[in-house]
């Protein structure tokens, strides 16, 4: 068996039941060809680098599974037919993979590193947006309770450009007066 990973980009207007139906179809294809689904993750909505099929954004899904060579062709056939799918790519990770039941369970229960990073990013963004403007964590807030928003002005340096009096010595001044 081979270990495959696939990335699917779906339209943003895809409904949850439609996505679930597509997932069940793909899962059925994998099991019918004697394969095992290891992971299926929703990576969320992202802006695309360029518009694909008139879609500036897409919903990304990650699929990790074991299977023989024919399973990939059948999955790709289902993805080409589906109106939900904007783009997809399948990659062979390993060839000749034999996993025990415990290894399969471990892969199924642990999320991918990218999925964990996406969850951390979502958590960070939600924390940043939930803060109010008058949090006293820095001096650049809009609390208006004190004057910490205003910076003191630096004094301006003024240069003297009056060349007439500065260049004349005291002796020359006496000669001019006499």
User: Residue 158 region, left (φ>0) first, then alpha (ψ -120 to 50), else beta?
Assistant: beta
Confidence (pTM): 0.62
Report the C-alpha gap between 89 and 33 in whole angstroms.
19
- Is 55 within 8 Å of 12 (Cβ atoms)? yes
Q: Residue 155 corresponds to which tokens in the numbers above?
A: 């004094």
pLDDT in tens, the chain (178 residues): 888 999 999 999 999 999 999 999 999 999 999 889 998 999 889 999 999 989 999 999 999 999 887 899 999 999 999 999 999 999 999 888 777 777 777 776 777 766 677 777 777 777 777 765 555 555 555 555 555 556 667 777 767 665 555 555 555 555 555 5
Closest CA to 19 of 50, 42, 53, 48: 42
């Amino acid at each position: 068996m081979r270990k495959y990973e696939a990335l699917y980009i779906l339209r943003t207007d895809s409904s949850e039941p439609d996505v679930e139906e597509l997932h069940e179809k793909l899962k059925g294809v994998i099991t019918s060809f004697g394969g095992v689904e290891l992971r299926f993750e929703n990576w969320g909505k992202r802006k695309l680098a360029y518009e694909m099929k008139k879609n500036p954004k897409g919903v990304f899904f990650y699929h990790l599974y074991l299977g023989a060579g024919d399973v990939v062709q059948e999955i790709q056939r289902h993805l080409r037919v589906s109106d939900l799918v904007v783009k997809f790519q399948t990659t062979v990770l390993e060839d000749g993979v034999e996993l025990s039941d415990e290894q399969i369970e471990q892969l199924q229960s642990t999320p991918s590193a990218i999925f964990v990073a996406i969850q951390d990013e979502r958590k960070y963004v939600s924390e940043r947006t939930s803060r109010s403007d008058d949090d006293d964590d820095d001096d650049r807030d809009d609390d208006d309770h004190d004057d910490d928003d205003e910076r003191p002005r630096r004094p301006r340096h003024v240069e003297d450009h009056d060349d007439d009096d500065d260049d004349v010595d005291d002796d020359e001044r006496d000669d001019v007066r006499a």
